[in-house]
Amino acid sequence: MIGTLTVCAGYDQPDREDYTIHLEYLPGDDGKAMYLNVWADATCEHVRIGDSLLLCMPMAPDLWLKDNEVSQNDINFDGCPDLQVYIGTERGEPRYHAWVWNRFNQSFYHVKDYCNIAEPEIDKERQLITSTYITMSGEIVTEVYHWIDDGFELEFVSSDSTPVRREDSRYGER
């Protein structure tokens, strides 16, 4: 289950910096990674953040050993480090699951549908999340999202698309 995770009930709640994040890949019968467990260790207990997240694409476990598979940056602009976990690609675009830190109840909160945002870019200055990708029909699409509900939910703001130009080297010859 993915959702709100409250830690150390009945104890003093640890601060966000007390957590260490861990990943565990669960290979399928064919030896390719199919599921991912994410958990955090805090000062008073070992807690699961998300159990058996389905990866976008099965990949060999050695392909997951890369620098950006987990980042702990402030993605909802509240000053607390959040958690973003790389889960694979869909149509060639990187996808992530995300949990934001809830400073009021000292817990991680799963951001619904964050994995549907292709290659999210965090714009701290404008406090937006943008996604830019190319469609199968040859358009570059840029989508914009902003945080609502005290930074626990993303809301779609706008979308803009333009045809890929031949000279646009980012996307190859067309």
% of the chain beyond a pLDDT of 70: 64
Residue 7 above 70 pLDDT? no
Q: Among candidates 80, 9, 77, 78, which has minimal Cα distance to 42?
A: 9
Residue 128 near residue 145 (C-beta atoms within 8 A)? yes
Residue 71 above 80 pLDDT? yes
**127 vs 136: which has the higher pLDDT:** 127
What average pLDDT does this structure show over 13-19?
71
pLDDT computed for residue 63 by the predictor: 56
What is the pTM (predicted TM-score) of this model?
0.71
Domain extents in the chain: 5-171
Residue 52 near residue 35 (C-beta atoms within 8 A)? yes
Residue 146 above 90 pLDDT? yes
